[in-house]
Amino acid sequence: MNTVLTKRSCFKTKIKSYGLFESRSSLSSSSTTPQKYDVFLSFRGADTRKNFVSFLHKHLEAKGIRTFKDDNSLVCGRQIAPVIDQAIKGTRIAVVVVSPTYPASNWCLEELLTILKQEEEKLLTVVPIFYEVEPNDLKRQTGKLVKQFKKHEKRHSIQRVNSWRDALTRLATLSGVCSKNSDDEATLVDKITELVSKMLSSNVISVDEHMKRLYPLLDLNSNEGVQVSGIWGRGNKGRSALARHVYQKISTNFDAHCFLEDLRSTSLFLQEALLSNMKGEGLSTRSSHMCLDAIKARLWNKKILLVANHVDNIEKLDALADEFGWFGPGSRIIITTQDKQLLISSNVKSVYEVEHLRCCDVGTLWRSEAFKQK
């Protein structure tokens, strides 16, 4: 255990000593925050927490759908709590249960603003559930909403209140589920769960969309220092195909570039692969020291792109870190792995999560890259 900790701190120390840094934001395939949930439940606790929402949450979880439900009414002054804000930004679908007193809560309305902002940026999908309310009442701001918004106007700025009005109007225009169309709550819950399940199964992301989300992470226009990023995903094929595609697309921006494939063997193999790929000649070395000296002479202060695929343990990161100090400004190191904790414990903060890459795109990428390599 102590050995592992020492090695992990070694990678962090090298990162700091070489003046390397990670880009400023972590991205996910679904949001600018690493994805943690499939569904975020937005609801008014006083109306639905102990009955309908509790039942719905349990049903979704039973189907294997990762669902965030605020059990503690987390609020922070007049704003939603950071944990809720992060949960919204780290989810794929927001199920908004609009009940009779939902619009009376400024916290619920603030939550809704955050959700709709994510929806506007196409970072999540919103499913409104009109629970014992009419969508037309939200559109027209009639019924109980008149009194509810009069109270809001006494306590909040007119600009804020108008933003809440607009949010409710916008929500009412989205396709959703009305409770009045179900015979009972069990039927309603089944209907919502089936809808969410179908949306999740079809909510895959094209490779072009992945690339669009990856570019801000890589910050290719910056020549400040050397940036280290990670691409994490459970499936080897999707992760590797995307990494190879990124490499092919951006490699022309660098003085030298190398894609190190499948580094799941020894650290010595890693050193030899670096030398072979960077120098264009396969040299056998008996010591890491000899290999490092050769690489150092070739790469000193050049703008380098290095993609290390399938990094599976800390020794590989330590070996890579030995090269970073010689890379010139604007260099990029991209590490792909299925072990997210390895990246986190090694202080690689810019981690892109690859999920739901279309199967057809994975196949196309593999065939395309195989053809190029031939």
- Residue 224 shares a structural domain with residue 120: no
Active-site residue, from 22, 110, 111, 323: 111
Clarify whether 111 is annotated catalytic.
yes
What CATH number is given to the structural domain containing 224? 3.40.50.300
256 in a structural domain: yes
- Residue 218 shares a structural domain with residue 333: yes
User: Which positions ≥6 away from 298 have C-beta within 8 Å?
Assistant: 256, 278, 279
Please tell me the distance from the alpha carbon of residue 251 to that of residue 245, in angstroms, as a whole number: 10
- Residue 122 shares a structural domain with residue 219: no
What amino acid occupies position 136? N
Q: Return the SS3 of 75.
A: strand
Going by C-alpha positions, the residue among 28, 47, 46, 48 that lies closest to residue 38 is 28
Q: Which two tokens stand for residue 73?
A: 């009414």
Q: Which two tokens stand for residue 44?
A: 């008014």
- Structural domain that includes position 274: 13-29+206-373
Q: Which two tokens stand for residue 331?
A: 């260099």
4 in a structural domain: no
Q: What is Dmax (Cα atoms) for the chain?
A: 81
Number of domains, the chain: 2
- Residue 196 shares a structural domain with residue 233: no
What CATH number is given to the structural domain containing 125? 3.40.50.10140
- Residue 74 shares a structural domain with residue 174: yes
Q: Work out the end-to-end distance of the chain between its first and last CA atoms, rounded to an integer number of angstroms.
A: 44
- Residue 197 shares a structural domain with residue 290: no
Please tell me the distance from the alpha carbon of residue 243 to that of residue 87, in angstroms, as a whole number: 27
Stated length of the chain: 374
Residue by residue, pLDDT tens for the chain (374 residues) are: 333 334 444 666 666 655 555 544 444 443 345 557 889 999 998 898 889 999 999 999 998 888 999 875 544 444 557 888 889 988 889 999 999 999 999 999 999 999 999 998 878 899 999 999 999 989 888 888 999 999 999 999 999 999 999 999 999 999 999 999 998 999 999 999 999 988 887 655 566 777 778 888 888 888 888 888 998 876 556 788 888 888 988 988 888 888 887 655 445 555 555 555 554 444 444 445 555 566 567 667 888 888 888 888 777 677 666 656 777 899 999 998 888 888 888 888 788 887 655 444 444 444 444 434 44
- Residue 162 shares a structural domain with residue 280: no
Q: What's the pTM value of the predicted model, to 2 decimals?
A: 0.52
Going by C-alpha positions, the residue among 91, 70, 96, 97 that lies closest to residue 81 is 70
What would the DSSP string read from start to end of 283-344? ---S-HHHHHHHHHHHHTTB-EEEEE-S--SHHHHHHHHHHHTTBPTT-EEEEEES-HHHHH
- Residue 48 shares a structural domain with residue 194: yes
Burial code (b: 16+ CB inside 10 Å, e: under 16) for 13-23 equals: ebbeebebebb
- Residue 101 shares a structural domain with residue 249: no
Q: What is the pLDDT of residue 11?
A: 65
User: Which positions ≥6 away from 238 have C-beta within 8 Å?
Assistant: 354, 357, 362
3 in a structural domain: no
Q: What is the pLDDT of residue 108?
A: 94
Residue where one domain finishes, among candidates 202, 235, 264: 202
- Residue 247 shares a structural domain with residue 362: yes
What amino acid occupies position 232? W
Residue where one domain finishes, among candidates 202, 224, 247: 202
CA distances from 346 to 80, 111, 113, 234, 318 (A): 31, 34, 36, 19, 10
Residue where one domain finishes, among candidates 202, 229, 255: 202
81 in a structural domain: yes
Do residues 369 and 245 lie in contact, with contact meaning Cβ atoms separated by under 8 Å? yes
Burial (CB < 10 A; 0-12, 13-18, 19+), residue 57, is buried
- Residue 210 shares a structural domain with residue 348: yes
Please tell me the distance from the alpha carbon of residue 374 to that of residue 225, in angstroms, as a whole number: 35
Q: What is the pLDDT of residue 372?
A: 46
- Residue 140 shares a structural domain with residue 182: yes
